Amino acid sequence: MSLNRPARRLALLLLSLSLTAAGRSSVAVTSSYTENFDNLGTELPNGWGAWISSTATENGATFAWSTANVANNTGASATTHFRNIPGASQTWSSTLASGTDRALGWRAGNTDSRDGSITFTWANTTSWTFSALSFDLFTPNSTGTVATFNLEYQIGATGTFSQLAGKSYTTIPIPTGGAELAVSSISLTALDLAALNDQSGLVTLRINNTASTGSIFQTVALDNFNYTASTTAIPEPKSYGALGGAAVLALALVRRRLSKVGSKI
């Protein structure tokens, strides 16, 4: 049984709501989107998630988000594995916690938080084509060990996460004594993003720690996430009738003209 467009939209909405109730927040695709995380003092933005005990196929358990400002060098604790920290434009110091520019930080302190992830989820990408996506990653602290984080994606509510366009980030600890923050801008092209286009179910991006041993790692921070996309409109069922009528009329006019030409010969 096939669904018309309104029924299909309703089915996708109900699926999205059921998954949101289970802990995965999702948003609709728009032609342009920017998230600078400056409102983390309130809550995580819609569509974003912070998780512990993630696996190759599952987000894991929702992390209990704390909205409090956390300083760059603050050690890991049960309430600050994922944290609200100063953003990419900051003038760095180890004790800096304040500032209007904020970023979404992650510092593991045990195996559960080491195996966590940060996600962004679209309810679906039906008829949408992504043209560009970018975000900033940086290492805001000067203590800990180095770790590498992959950018991954998942199509649907289940299935294995795969690395997207080979994108990854290895933490860059700030040298002892302090130095300017090293910010890495990650950019993806339309070709890089092709796997995300025109999907009828959930589409999830995540930043995932690749380490499988140890538990204390450098903080990674995410800021200035944005993308652009375009959509191809799908005609409503009634539009097909109008298009068919126009085609019939055009054919009739062509036949009439040909008939007149033939009568003159």
Contacts of 178 (CB under 8 A, 6+ apart): 92, 93, 94, 142
| Nearest residue to 162 (alpha-carbon basis) of 121, 118, 204 | 204
- Which tens digit of pLDDT belongs to each residue from 206-243? 999 999 888 777 789 999 999 999 998 655 555 545 55
pLDDT band at 26 (very low <50, low <70, confident <90, very high): very high
- Cβ pair 12, 122 in contact under 8 A: no
Count of CB atoms within 10 A of residue 49's CB?
24
Transcribe 203-224 into DSSP letters: EEEEEEE---S-S----EEEEE
DSSP 104: E
Boundaries of every domain in the chain: 5-234, 237-265
Half-sphere CA count of 141, side-chain side, radius 13 A: 25
Q: What is the mean pLDDT of the chain?
A: 85
**Helix H or strand E encompassing 120:** strand 117-122
pLDDT band at 13 (very low <50, low <70, confident <90, very high): very low
Please state the pTM of the whole predicted model: 0.81
DSSP 27: B
- Cβ pair 146, 171 in contact under 8 A: yes
pLDDT, residue 218, reads: 79
State what percent of residues in the chain have pLDDT above 70: 78
CATH number for domain 5-234, candidates 1.10.10.10, 2.60.120.200, 3.30.70.20, 2.40.50.140? 2.60.120.200
Average pLDDT on 102-122 reads: 96
pLDDT band at 146 (very low <50, low <70, confident <90, very high): confident
Task: Provide the token pair at 236.
Answer: 């409503």
- Which tens digit of pLDDT belongs to each residue from 166-182? 999 999 888 766 677 89
pLDDT, residue 213, reads: 85
Higher local confidence (pLDDT), 118 or 11: 118
Task: Provide the token pair at 187.
Answer: 């950019």
pLDDT, residue 18, reads: 40
